[in-house]
Amino acid sequence: MNKNIMETERLFLRRFAMDDLDDLHQILGNEKVMEFSLTGAKSLEQTKKFLKKVLENQQVKNDNLGFFAIISKNHKKLIGYLGLISQNVDNVDRIELTYRLNPQYWGQGFVPETTKAVTKYAKSLGIPEIISIIEAENKNSIRVAEKLGMTIEKETTFESIPVIIYKINLRLR
């Protein structure tokens, strides 16, 4: 089993393993979950490629960033993932907080719980700020960003899609 990187009251966050493929595909293959993604819902083969790339990056980079599996302590299974990943927005490299959660667990406060833990983790790594790249129609993600204390930095385009950049300054926390 992978070593837990973070822990909250109800969840563990850890690095991914190939054994996570089926649970991850329940998330990435879901049209509702992937409505505001660049790629849309993924096939099992696409999910497998994504997971292999995540695993390769974990081994190569080993920089405390990347994607983390969200494991329910109660259900003992992967219910989502969260990432601190490097993104280039308007020709500036930034650290983005991104996440996906199995809809079975929506509305139970898991995303705010994990994002708060990851924000503390990012601050402990010396990351000065994190952003979220959110489409204006994605009201759920906007609510999560606001609960986390993020504010609108600007409107821009990312991968040819109009988005709002939300930001939180970790130096002030």
Under CATH, what is the fold of the domain 4-127? Aminopeptidase (3.40.630)
Per residue in 25-70, pLDDT (tens digit) is 999 999 999 999 888 999 999 999 999 999 998 877 766 889 999 9
Q: Are 131 and 84 in contact (CB under 8 A)?
A: no
Strand, coil or helix: what is 24?
Answer: helix
Per residue in 124-136, pLDDT (tens digit) is 999 999 999 999 9
Q: Give pLDDT, residue 62.
A: 61
Confidence check: pLDDT of 95 > 90: yes
Delimit the domains of the chain by residue range.
4-127
**In whole angstroms, what is the distance from residue 151 CA to residue 129 CA?**
12
pTM of the prediction?
Answer: 0.89
